[in-house]
């Protein structure tokens, strides 16, 4: 669920929560709790151990299922799905719901029984479970299916022509996307869509036949089978998939992204739990500034009202069932449940054409302590109610789309037409729907283009290639210049990449590439992150062309040009550690036993390793240079013990580090430090909570091992262990976003990007003589985009952080090399241009710990 504490009436009373009987006592909805901005647990603390439990199995990225063999055909497309082995430990069984292993058999049966149902596998989860997509529509011949494909492509590629074609919307089957169970322990969305699929498959009602003649309904049955089976919110890698959409680090998200690209839904529904009464989007401010919001709100709000009516028609009441009436945040709340960041499924879908998209939070909690402590019969009563409500929301949504079939398709066409024409963003008129006021108006200014330069102007061709490939994977159009050109008063070399903002999905291009906005003055509370920028955080140089003509002889990019190289000649080679792929290349070489040295932010390999260097240069797209000498501190493969959050563990392993998860409990149980070079601490490890034996073993390690920390847990560890002389100061707990930074000349930041990411930011004061400031928050107001207010007492704001040390390093009196991060360089696997800072910290700490301490 996405439950902000600022929303009123989101939970039942204490009497209801403690009741185990089938019929609840009459209760009233409680008042909203106050929002606490104090120093709570580090973010992702709940998921800190998930990566430790996860399987090492990695699944392939989601792929375009329409391009697989056999898909150039009509409907139905009957595929026999492999049926997994029975798993009696599946967490859904206790709730009386369909276990994961029962889904494929049920879908196979429906395909046999109905010519309206087509089921296929769109990818695999982190733990290797199949992901099922079901298409429900009236039968189509191959020619009819091809015509639908042509119409869909015309809507995107020639929206102006599609808008003029009065027959087009009549012929087009409106696509609608339903997403079930993205949070694994919010189970009932899966069972609701299975129920609705069966209803549609077997109904003899002529209205159903008419509906399926005018629509294609796409059901992602369970978006998170790992979590469904285990009863966890996250997938097998410990990731909240509903935070990953503009990063797409997880295979489940890449599969969902591809479904949306390939189906181009006009509406989508994401099924969650648990908020009582049922929460139905649209949302409170701030509203995503890159949507065509006038088209969005005039579809999303009436659909929300229709979903509400369908739920109320079920007849559940607080007195009889413990079920409160639905709430629509846009109508019922002032703030706290926003659609600002495109990290959530319903906030990403509009950039792929949806003009109505919703999170639905059904009401009756069955996870967490309820799952553990409540009687099975009460859990099953609650789950049955949730399935009823989720199914009602699904039916209401496809009925809404059917009722305004022509208009909703025309609105999708208009979204793409505005983008392709390069029209200015439209300010939504006040009163466009009841309650839409000045507080709801958010807009942006679209530039003429973005340019990712080639040649000497580009600090990292490897980072540029990754960014370009990511844009293309999101269906953003990129061209590569065949000749030099001028734009925005600058000359760019051939090979530069251009994102012309006159394209149908300009909103998605802009939401990823613009710096963003500081919205701190406009709202007090945000649901999740408020700032992000691929242009500022992914390590590539991205120039904004604000206006003027654009004349580029270019070719469309399907994949970025190769970037790996090794210079001719003899002698040692250097690889600067400025990009995540350079880190992977270094770790690959070290794992092969290549003798390398660490020298001022670069890894130097001997001339005899040129063959290995060529291999990794080609594999990772990295560019070696001639080393000035082979001198440096010897470096071998870095062995890491990590008490970290799930996203950090995932990223460290993705970078190629050998990581052993640890925690207070693991160390107290007895831990062998002989296989560790560096300890990383950000979550789940308290020095003060270690027993005497564990503390003595850790202290012995600190005489020969390095330490890297992040956040409040890391700062507390530094102080308790007596490492660096530094006082950690906490900013406001929910502050987050992109910040300007100033880099020092140390071993960690070096030539790092001029921007960083923060969440619950920290800074360091009272620095001892052994401490080097690696990176500082910029003077003035460091926040570029996001939300960072001071605490009610005036402390913790960005003005207090301005100019203060954000990352520091040093050698303690024992000789341990220590790095403290007050920023979030690995946050949710997103700020890829910052990953090298952590890698450099590990390399430096491992290389110099134990060597003589010298004065800087």
User: To which H or E segment does residue 201 belong?
Assistant: helix 188-202
pLDDT for res 15: 30
In sign, the C-alpha dihedral spanning 337, 340, 341, 344 is positive
pLDDT for res 459: 63
Six token digits for residue 765: 């004061």
Six token digits for residue 332: 């019922």
Report in angstroms the alpha-carbon separations of 172 from 146, 210, 402.
11, 13, 12
* Nearest in space to 408 (alpha carbons), one of 202, 541, 268: 268
Six token digits for residue 729: 């100061």
Run means of pLDDT, 10 residues per run, the chain, 856 residues: 36 30 32 30 35 32 44 89 98 98 98 98 98 98 97 98 96 98 98 98 97 98 98 98 98 98 98 97 97 98 98 98 98 95 98 98 98 98 98 98 98 98 96 97 96 75 96 98 94 96 98 97 93 96 92 95 93 93 96 91 92 96 92 92 98 98 98 97 98 97 94 98 97 97 89 94 97 96 96 95 97 91 98 96 86 46
* DSSP state for residue 500 in the 8-state scheme: E
Interacting residues of 647 by C-beta distance below 8 A, sequence separation 6+? 44, 47, 238, 239, 826, 827, 828, 829
Rounded to whole angstroms, how far apart are CA atoms 856 and 853? 9
Rounded to whole angstroms, how far apart are CA atoms 264 and 176? 8
Tokens 């660096």 correspond to 724
- Per-state percent for the chain, helix, strand, coil, to nearest 5: 35, 20, 45
* DSSP state for residue 72 in the 8-state scheme: S
**Residue 489's Cα: distance from chain center in Å?**
35
pLDDT for res 60: 37
- The CA angle 449-413-216, to the nearest 5 degrees, is 125
- Got the DSSP string for 254-312? HHHHHHHHHH--SEEEEEEE--SSPEE---EEEEPTTS-HHHHHHHHHHHHHHHHHHHH
* Cβ contact 348:387 at 8 Å: no
Rounded to whole angstroms, how far apart are CA atoms 598 and 574? 10
- Got the DSSP string for 809-840? EEE-TT--EEEEESS-TTGGG--GGGHHHHHH
Tokens 């204490």 correspond to 14
Six token digits for residue 471: 């844009």
* Cβ contact 492:451 at 8 Å: yes
SS3 22: coil
Within a 10 A sphere around the Cβ of 763, how many other Cβ atoms? 24
Exposed, middle or buried by CB within 10 Å (0-12, 13-18, 19+), for 465? Answer: buried
Tokens 């491992």 correspond to 846
Report in angstroms the alpha-carbon separations of 418 from 174, 253, 299, 477, 635.
20, 28, 18, 15, 54
* Cβ contact 807:823 at 8 Å: yes
* Nearest in space to 354 (alpha carbons), one of 235, 236, 269: 269
Six token digits for residue 674: 């002989």
pLDDT for res 745: 85
Six token digits for residue 688: 């003060």
* DSSP state for residue 562 in the 8-state scheme: P
Q: Name 272's bridge partners.
A: 361
Sheet holding 215-220, edge to edge: 117-124, 130-136, 215-220, 174-180, 267-273, 356-362, 279-280
- The CA angle 387-339-181, to the nearest 5 degrees, is 25
HEC assignment per residue over 162-173: HHHCCCHHHHCC
Rounded to whole angstroms, how far apart are CA atoms 730 and 804? 12
Give me Rg for the CA atoms of the chain. Answer: 27
Rounded to whole angstroms, how far apart are CA atoms 559 and 536? 21
* DSSP state for residue 479 in the 8-state scheme: E
Tokens 């007195």 correspond to 319
CA dihedral 350, 356, 357, 360 (to 10 degrees): 170
Rounded to whole angstroms, how far apart are CA atoms 6 and 391? 27
Rounded to whole angstroms, how far apart are CA atoms 208 and 32? 41
pLDDT for res 815: 84
* Cβ contact 763:710 at 8 Å: no
What number of CA atoms fall less than 13 Å from residue 151's CA on the CB side?
21
- Got the DSSP string for 362-401? ES---SHHHHHHS-HHHHHHHHHHHHHHHHHHHHHHHHHH
* Cβ contact 77:135 at 8 Å: yes
pLDDT for res 747: 83
Within a 10 A sphere around the Cβ of 339, how many other Cβ atoms? 27
Q: How many residues does the chain have?
A: 856
Rounded to whole angstroms, how far apart are CA atoms 446 and 442? 13
Q: Name 604's bridge partners.
A: 574, 597
pLDDT for res 165: 96
Within a 10 A sphere around the Cβ of 674, how many other Cβ atoms? 7
Rounded to whole angstroms, how far apart are CA atoms 94 and 718? 44
């Amino acid at each position: 669920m996405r439950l902000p504490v600022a929303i009123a009436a989101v939970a039942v009373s204490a009497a209801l929560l403690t009741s185990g009987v089938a019929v609840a006592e009459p209760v009233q909805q409680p008042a909203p709790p106050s929002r606490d901005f104090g120093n709570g647990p580090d973010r992702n603390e709940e998921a800190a151990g998930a990566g430790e439990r996860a399987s090492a199995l990695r699944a392939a990225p989601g792929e375009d299922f329409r391009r697989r063999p056999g898909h150039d055909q009509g409907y139905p497309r009957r595929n026999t799905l492999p049926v997994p082995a029975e798993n009696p430990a599946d967490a859904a069984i206790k709730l009386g719901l369909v276990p994961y292993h029962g889904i494929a058999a049920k879908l196979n049966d429906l395909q046999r029984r109905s010519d309206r149902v087509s089921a296929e596998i769109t990818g695999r989860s982190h733990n290797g479970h199949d992901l099922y997509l079901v298409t429900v529509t009236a039968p189509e011949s191959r020619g009819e299916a091809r015509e639908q494909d042509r119409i869909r492509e015309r809507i995107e590629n020639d929206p102006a022509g599609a808008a003029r074609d009065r027959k087009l919307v009549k012929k087009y089957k409106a696509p609608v996307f339903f997403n079930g169970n993205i949070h694994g322990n919010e189970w009932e969305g899966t069972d609701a869509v299975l129920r609705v699929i069966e209803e549609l498959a077997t109904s003899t009602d002529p209205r159903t036949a008419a509906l399926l003649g005018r629509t294609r309904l796409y059901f992602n049955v369970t978006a998170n089978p790992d979590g469904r089976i285990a009863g966890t919110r996250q997938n097998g890698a410990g990731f909240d998939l509903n935070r990953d959409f503009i990063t797409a680090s997880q295979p489940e998200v890449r599969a969902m992204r591809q479904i949306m690209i390939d189906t181009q839904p006009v509406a989508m529904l994401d099924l969650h739990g648990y908020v009582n009464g049922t929460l139905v989007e649209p949302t409170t401010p701030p509203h995503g500034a890159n949507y065509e919001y006038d088209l969005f709100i005039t579809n999303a709000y009436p659909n929300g009202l229709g979903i509400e009516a369908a739920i109320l028609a079920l007849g559940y009441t607080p007195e009889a069932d413990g079920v409160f009436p639905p709430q629509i945040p846009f109508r019922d709340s002032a703030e706290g449940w926003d659609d600002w960041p495109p990290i959530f499924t319903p906030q990403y879908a509009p950039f792929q054409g949806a003009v109505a998209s919703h999170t639905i939070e059904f009401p009756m909690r069955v996870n967490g302590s309820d799952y553990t402590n409540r009687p099975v019969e009460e859990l099953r009563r609650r789950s049955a109610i949730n399935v009823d409500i989720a199914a009602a929301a699904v039916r209401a949504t496809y009925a809404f789309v059917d009722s305004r079939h022509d208009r909703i398709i025309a609105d999708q066409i208009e979204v793409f037409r505005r983008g392709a024409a390069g029209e200015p963003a439209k300010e939504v008129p006040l009163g466009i729907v009841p309650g839409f006021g000045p507080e709801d108006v958010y807009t942006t200014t679209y530039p003429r283009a973005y340019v990712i330069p080639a040649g000497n102007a580009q600090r990292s061709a490897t980072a540029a290639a990754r960014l370009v490939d990511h844009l293309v994977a999101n269906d953003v159009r990129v061209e590569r210049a065949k000749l030099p050109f001028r734009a925005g008063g600058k000359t760019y070399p051939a090979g530069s990449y251009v994102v012309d903002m006159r394209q149908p999905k300009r909103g998605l291009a802009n939401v990823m590439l613009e710096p963003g906005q500081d919205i701190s003055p406009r709202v007090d509370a945000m649901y999740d992150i408020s700032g992000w920028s691929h242009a500022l955080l992914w390590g590539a140089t991205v120039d904004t062309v604000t206006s003027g003509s654009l004349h580029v002889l270019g070719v469309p990019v399907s994949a970025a040009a190769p970037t790996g190289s090794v210079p001719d000649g003899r002698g040692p080679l250097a690889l600067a550690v400025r990009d995540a792929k350079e880190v992977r290349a270094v770790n690959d070489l070290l794992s092969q036993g290549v003798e390398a040295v660490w020298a001022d932010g670069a890894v130097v390999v001997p001339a005899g390793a040129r063959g290995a260097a060529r291999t990794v240069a080609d594999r990772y797209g990295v560019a070696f240079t001639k080393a000035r000498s082979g001198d440096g501190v010897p470096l071998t493969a870095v062995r890491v013990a990590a008490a970290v959050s799930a996203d950090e563990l995932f990223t460290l392993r993705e970078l190629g580090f050998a990581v052993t998860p640890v925690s207070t409990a693991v160390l107290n149980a007895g831990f062998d430090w002989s296989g560790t070079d560096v300890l990383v601490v950000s979550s789940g490890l308290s020095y003060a909570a270690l027993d005497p034996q564990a503390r003595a073993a850790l202290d012995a390690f600190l005489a020969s091992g390095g330490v890297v920390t992040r956040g409040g847990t890391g700062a507390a560890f530094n102080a308790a262990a007596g490492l660096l002389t530094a006082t950690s100061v906490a900013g406001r707990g929910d502050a987050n976003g992109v910040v300007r930074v100033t880099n020092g000349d140390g071993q960690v930041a070096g030539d790092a990007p001029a921007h960083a990411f923060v969440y619950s930011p920290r800074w360091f004061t009272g620095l001892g003589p052994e401490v080097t400031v690696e990176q500082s928050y910029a003077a003035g107001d460091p926040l570029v985009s996001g939300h960072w207010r001071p605490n009610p007492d005036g402390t913790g704001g960005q003005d207090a952080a301005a100019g203060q040390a954000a990352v520091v390093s040093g050698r303690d009196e024992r000789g341990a090399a220590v790095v403290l991060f007050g920023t979030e360089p690995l946050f949710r696997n997103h700020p890829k241009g910052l990953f090298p800072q952590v890698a450099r910290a590990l390399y430096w700490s491992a290389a110099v710990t134990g060597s003589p301490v010298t004065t800087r």
